[in-house]
Structure 1
Amino acid sequence: MPQTFNIYGDESCHIENDHNKVMVHGVVWCPAKISKKIGRDIRDLKLKHGLKSDFEIKWTKVSKSKVEFYLELVDYFFRNDALRFRGVIVPDKSKLDHERFGSEHNEFYYKMFFYVLRNIIKNDNKYRVYLDIKDTLGREKLDVLKDCLQNANYDYNRSAIERIQHIRSHEVEQLQLADLFIGALSYVHRGLSSNEGKMELIERIKWHSGKSLSRSTFPSETKFNVFVWEAN
């Protein structure tokens, strides 16, 4: 029976010349019918750990003092069969030769979201895509992304994607969870290890997923799917 899914997407270090060579795009997705319940569950977790219900989950906020909350949040994600994650990592943006391929960086940005979404969308289901609002991603560019997905040679029908729109991350817990996971992937691929709380969280993700986070998973991996994109 067809289902409707909500997909929540974010990215890290997408700006071309930001002195950070790693770029990560990622999405958390779940059935639309239980999306609100998942949000309530996560807000309850915040309250359980002495945080305000509107506390914004962010990778940059992970520290030893809050690590127990973040560890339990990761446990919740992996225990909940309805929640899934997919991330695409570009390990070194400096190797991107946009001119050679008749492209430019903003266009490549959409290609990365396309790579994230193409393994998720199936013709017999419906999808609502929500991306964190960015100054670099206007409404017209969201329409381009939707057209790219609909016109791709993957047999998507034009009714599978009901909408693609902006939302603000502080309003939606699933989007905050996406920020957390792409932050963890970025930390691994940048070779960082100085933050004890972040390293503890990364080890918990590795333990649950059984994955190194440094290499691509099998395309068939559905719970925590990682694709490391390499330039030709």
Structure 2
Amino acid sequence: MSKTFNLYCDESTHLQHDGKPYMMIAYIKCAYPQIKQHKDYIKLLKAKHKFHGEMKWSKISKSNAEFYADVIDYFFATDLNFRAIVVDKSQIDETREGFTYDDFYFRMYYQLVAQKMAAKYTYNLYLDVKDTRSQDKLSRLKNILDNHHNIRNIQFIKSYESYLMQIADVMMGAINYHIRGLNKVTAKNRIIEKMQSHAKINLKKSTPKEAEKFNLFYIDLR
């Protein structure tokens, strides 16, 4: 029987006119039988630190820094995987014939998901509901991934329903914060340092293509 993985996908500062310089999309990959194990452990960490609510990069502060540090330690101690794509939006050229920002966005989702899939495994994709266009997005993603017959399911969920999607938000937020030079919050800087130390990389550079645990791809469109 083929092994199944869940991909919990999220995106950050991806809108064309949001005033932010980078488009980011990312996922956390988890073997299907291990979902409950990870959920139960995160629950224990939340209870230990008396943390309530949803994990988000935007919520990191001095008062909850120890909790988020433990979450990052946990990620690197397990076989969970992270992959992110980063694009400098100033390089996206909509003057090309038949090319739009939306087209490019969906191409990047294809790059994120399809390039690291193994034919011998099957996959479920879960995406965070962001806006009223979610159903249109779901339809387009299904179309561009249609030739990957090892994708069993693609659906939207609310981020509060998945701890793993929330971890994707935190790690993606750390990268985005770091590359934009926003280093004013000490608690956030600590999370960034911890991620770099564990991954043994500079978060401002792509990892080797074959990297599995922590895969980061800066796309240069020039």
TM bucket, shorter chain = over 0.9
Query: Where does residue 182 of structure 1 map in the other structure?
Result: 172
Deviations 1:131-177 (A, max 9, x none): 000216432432321221233xxxx4x2x001111000011100000
Task: Confirm whether residue 13 of structure 1 aligns to residue 50 of structure 2.
Answer: no
Matched, 1:209 2:188: no
Residue in 1 that maps onto 2:106: 110
Q: Does 1:218 align with 2:208?
A: yes
Aligned to 1:168: 158
Q: What does the per-residue CA deviation read over 1:8-45, in whole Å, with 9 as the maximum and x for residues that have no partner? A: 00000111011111111100011111112211211211
1:188-199 correspondence to structure 2 within 5 Å: 188-199=178-189
Over 3 Å counting, the alpha-carbon distance change for 1:134 and 1:146 in structure 2 is: same
Any residues of structure 2 matched to 1:1-232 within 5 Å, and which? 2-52=2-52, 55-81=53-79, 83-90=80-87, 92-100=88-96, 102-135=98-131, 137-151=133-147, 156=148, 158=149, 160-232=150-222
Q: CA deviation at 1:63?
A: 1.2
Specify the code of the residue in structure 2 equivalent to 1:78: F
**Counterparts in 2 of 1:230 and 1:101: CA distance versus 1, 3 Å:** farther
Q: Per-residue displacement from partner, 1:88-116 (whole Å, max 9, x unpaired)?
A: 011x2122102315221222221111111
CA distance in 2, matches of 1:190, 1:137: 28
Shift of 1:181: 0.8
Partner SS state of residue 153, structure 2: strand
Deviates more, 1:116-125 or 1:15-24: 116-125
Q: Distance in 1 between matches of 2:117 and 2:126?
A: 14
When normalised by structure 1's length, the TM-score is 0.91
Percent identity reads: 38
Structure 2 Cα separation of the partners of residues 26 and 136 of structure 1: 21
User: Which stretch of structure 1 is more off in the superposition, 119-128 or 216-225?
Assistant: 119-128
Aligned length: 222
Following TM superposition, where does structure 1 have runs of at least 4 consecutive aligned residues deviating by more than 6 angstroms? none
Letter in 2 for 1:89: V
Displacement of 1:50 in angstroms is: 1.1
Q: 2 CA distance for matches of 1:217 and 1:101?
A: 32
- Residues 222/137 of structure 1: CA separation in 2 closer, same or farther (3 Å cut): farther
Are residues 41 and 197 of structure 1, via their aligned partners in 2, closer, same or farther at CA, if it must alter by over 3 Å? same
Q: Distance in 2 between matches of 1:176 and 1:192?
A: 21
1:38-64 deviations in Å (ceiling 9; x for gaps): 112112111110123xx2000000112
Which is worse superposed, 188-197 or 202-211?
A: 188-197
